[in-house]
A and B are shown apart, each in its own frame.
Chain A
Amino acid sequence: MSGSRSGSLDGSGLSARIHHFTNESVLECYQCGKCSAGCPLARDMDFPPSYLLRMLQLGMPVLDEQVLASLSIWLCLTCEACVARCPKEVGLPRIMDFLRQESLKLGKVNPKAKEILAFHRSFLDSVRRTGRLHEVGLIARYKMRTLHLLQDVLAAPKMMARGKLRLMPPRGAGKSDVRKIFHRTSAADPTVTQPLSSSDPQRCREEQS
């Protein structure tokens, strides 16, 4: 098959799936470490970016598991500093996107990434409802998902005083069009766009994982 230049790109391993869906080959990386050197959050990750790629290169299931369960993929800021300086132009941002999506699909999200995932989900929930992001709605949903009810509570009045807190959700805004888009794309990834409810199966899974 195209791209099967070596063992890791054949078959069903994670690197093979990465190559199939993103056209990026983990074999291009020669482990120079420049990405880790320039990544703003490398020190805070469990596996810095080049280390993560090394785990993928070996094509071993136990390492694939660790990659999908890592915190790194969720801390990643998508700042693209890695690929900008990478001598081999390895498309790490695209690989990271894929790893996040796989991690979510397979239910392997790192527990420490709970808030970050909740934030992304709350963001998309808001967009799905009104076609645009309603910041207040985003924060409200986020707090309900994570139960960090008092977070940033002091910021709210300051925002209000400066006219930056828009309480009313956006109107019109191609709402129905956007809803349809979500519906059509959720077939590809059902876990993403389930509406939030008190008996949210996603929330239960998050708390368990």
Chain B
Amino acid sequence: MARIGVFVCHCGENIASTVDTAEVVCASAQIPGVVLSIDYKYMCSDPGQNLIREAIGDRHLTGVVVAACSPRMHEPTFRRACADAGLNPYRCEMANIREHCSWVHDKSSDATAKAVDLVRMRVEKVKRNCSLFPIKVPVTKSALVIGGGIAGIQASLDIANAGHKVILVERDPSIGGHMAQLSETFPTLDCSQCILTPRMVEVAQNPNITLYTYSEVESLTGFIGNFKVRIRKRARGVDEKLCTGCGVCTQKCTSRKIPSEFNTGLGHRNAMYVPFPQAVPNKPVIDRSRCTYYLKGKCKLCEKICPAKAVRLDQEDQIVEADVGAVVVATGYDVKGADFFPEYGYGKFPDVITGLQFERLASASGPTLGKIKRPSDGKTPETVVFIACAGSRDPAKGIAYCSKICCMYTAKHAMLYRHKVHEGKAYVFYMDIRAGGKMYEEFVRRAIEEDEVRYVRGRVSRVYERNGILVVNGVDTLLGARPLEIEADLVVLASAMVAQKDAESLAQKLRISYDRDRFLSEAHPKLRPVEMNTAGIFVAGACQAPKDIPETVAQASGAASKVIGLFSRDELSREPVVARVGRNAAPLFSSCMGCFLCESACPYQAIEREEIRSRDGSLLKTVARVNEGVCQGCGTCVALCRSKSIDLDGFSHEQVFAELLAV
């Protein structure tokens, strides 16, 4: 026998000023099955919740309907109150008479009638609600971190130091990411590698971290707490256990003059190389697309001269499979090259470079050993023009957003240049100066006031080359939009920060969302910055949006804390609103016919096939089965099932139809 309690909330004036709550109370009391119908000013308040708790005890309620705001607001509140009082929380539902009624209509008898209808519908449903119990899912306490830049490094260390195992996968031969390419970091002008390499070494030495470099994630299947990852360890051509990192092979390699990726094309490397001296792991890699042996079958010098006999030219890619419970995506960013800008020469002027290339020039371990030199002729530039917002904030070029870090690094570059070339002149063409972080504003003022960098407010229309000098056609809008032509020896473009080229395909592989700029989409822009909509996958760093190093590290630690929180339990509790394939007794076993339309339709790949076998092992029937751990309760399969064999707990056919018929 149903014993339903109806609780009508005034929500202050939000509901009461439009809907006649007393009338709703009266009308609800008439509904068969309702044994209690009361109202209160604020049901979500403590006294309000107490009313519910007491009523459950006093009146032995079998179901509760709270006529108030949207369930998105307070369903958890009221369900918790019911659970406290001993009533299964899934027997409590809300009738939304605020967002669906009082907030969208004017005060009238029609509005009240609608509210009465809404309550009646809910009551009819709740009469048919069943008790549901959270689904428990085991948790593998091992994390996968994709990307070995500062974000991935920080997250890995945090998780490992909390006592859990971490697999860190990095595509490049070494971890370190873009931070390893930087010369000095703002606002302190710390040497970037000096503060990064200790962390890199820590990663290598931490017993909880398994580091796979020169590797990529091939596939990820499963669900929160229970992922299976396949990692492709690309063939380095070297047995890492035997290699001592002596470097003889990289020096003697005969295939030379290959533009170095680490040095952004400003320096060279050989086909067998270690990207930079402080690389972790410090083991070389053979670039098979350039190695004489793989191209023409000759040479093999490295194999001959390696003192440790560690070269393995016939090495093949290896696939590693692992079980993990959580994933942190920290794949970082890319930077647009000078060829992106038609008005700055389509990349054909060697002395028009990007900010990242300037970092390599300024870096003590870079191709010019830290001296600022023109790539074209190696001379020291006497006038350098820095162009901010190159590509960013530029809808015409397809990048409408601000890349956030350029104002700061441009100031830094200008300062570094002035420190290294005392007589040099530095100009910065800017639109705005965005220096919101700690000590950032002071940093920029220092560039202007102490290092005498000339800031010009206006953009540059075009740059062209004449007799070895670069002519920069800019404007000073603070001087009445007066055109300004400057002859420069070097032009540095603060080029836009963009998502990695394969960000989209990786996101699709992991089944996580991304936006139109291919940055990964966090679950909520304000309140859930490190979680993805896909449970168990977290994000950190510039792959989510442009950001600087302090923010990246903070986000990485945030993601790590979510993972550690996840691993703090042995089991996960999931909402039991999941689909279920009906089972019957023999000989039917299930009305499911095995058409598996549900399997292909399920957006979460939560439907599996189950074989029903007789006692002697012969196959009787293959039917669908819902994996409770993955199912999100969307109901797509329920709508599609031709034999109505699959139903949704919490929103069953019977419940939903009862609701509709009650209108």
Contacts and interface: CB of A to CB of B under 8 A. Distances in A.
Q: Do chains A and B touch in the complex (CB under 8 A)?
A: yes
Contacts of B389: 32
Given A48-B482, A49-B481, A37 B461 contact: yes
Given A37-B461, A86-B396, A87-B397, A50 B431 contact: no
Interface string A30-71: 111111111100110001111100100000000000000000
B475 A50 contact: yes
B396 A33 contact: no
Contacts of A39: 483
Interface in B446-461: 457-461
B525 interface: no
Given A48-B483, A85-B461, A37 B475 contact: yes
Contact of B396 (A43, A50, A89): A89
A33 B343 contact: no
A42 B482 CA distance: 8
B480 A51 contact: yes
A32 B431 contact: yes
B343 A48 contact: no
Contacts of A87: 393-397, 459
Contacts of B393: 30, 87
Given A49-B481, A85-B461, A37 B473 contact: yes
A48 B462 contact: no
B343 A85 contact: yes
B461 A38 contact: yes
A182 to B, nearest CB: 37
Contacts of A49: 481
A148 interface: no
Contact of A50 (B395, B460, B474, B481): B481
Interface string A71-101: 0000000000100011111000000000000
Nearest to B343: A85
Determine chain B's interface SS by DSSP, over half rule: strand
Contacts of A43: 482-483
Contact of B474 (A30, A37, A51, A88): A37
Contacts of B476: 33
B136 to A, nearest CB: 53
B477 interface: yes
Nearest to B476: A33
B458 A32 contact: yes
B431 to A, nearest CB: 5
Given A32-B459, A33-B477, A37-B461, A42 B483 contact: yes
B277 to A, nearest CB: 40
Contact of B475 (A30, A34, A89): A34
A43 B476 CA distance: 12
B458 A33 contact: yes
- Of the listed residues A37, A50, A51, the one surrounded by the most CB atoms of chain B closer than 10 A to its CB is A37
B495 to A, nearest CB: 14
A37 B431 contact: no
Contacts of B431: 30-32
A37 B395 contact: no
Nearest to A86: B396
- Of the listed residues A31, A35, A49, A87, the one surrounded by the most CB atoms of chain B closer than 10 A to its CB is A87
Interface in A15-40: 30-39
A65 B309 CA distance: 84
Contacts of A86: 396
B395 A89 contact: yes
A88 B396 contact: yes
Contacts of B458: 32-34, 36-37
Interface in B62-78: none
A85 B482 contact: no
Nearest to A81: B461
B462 A85 contact: yes
A46 to B, nearest CB: 10
Contacts of B397: 87
A48 B394 CA distance: 21
22 contacts: A31-B431, A32-B458, A32-B477, A33-B457, A33-B477, A36-B477, A36-B481, A37-B460, A37-B473, A37-B474, A38-B462, A38-B473, A48-B482, A48-B483, A51-B477, A51-B480, A51-B481, A85-B461, A86-B396, A87-B459, A88-B395, A89-B395
Given A36-B481, A87-B459, A88-B395, 6 more contacts: A32-B477, A34-B475, A37-B484, A38-B343, A51-B480, A85-B462
Counting from the closest, the 8 A-B pairs by CB-CB distance are: A38-B461, A37-B461, A37-B475, A33-B458, A33-B475, A87-B394, A48-B481, A51-B481
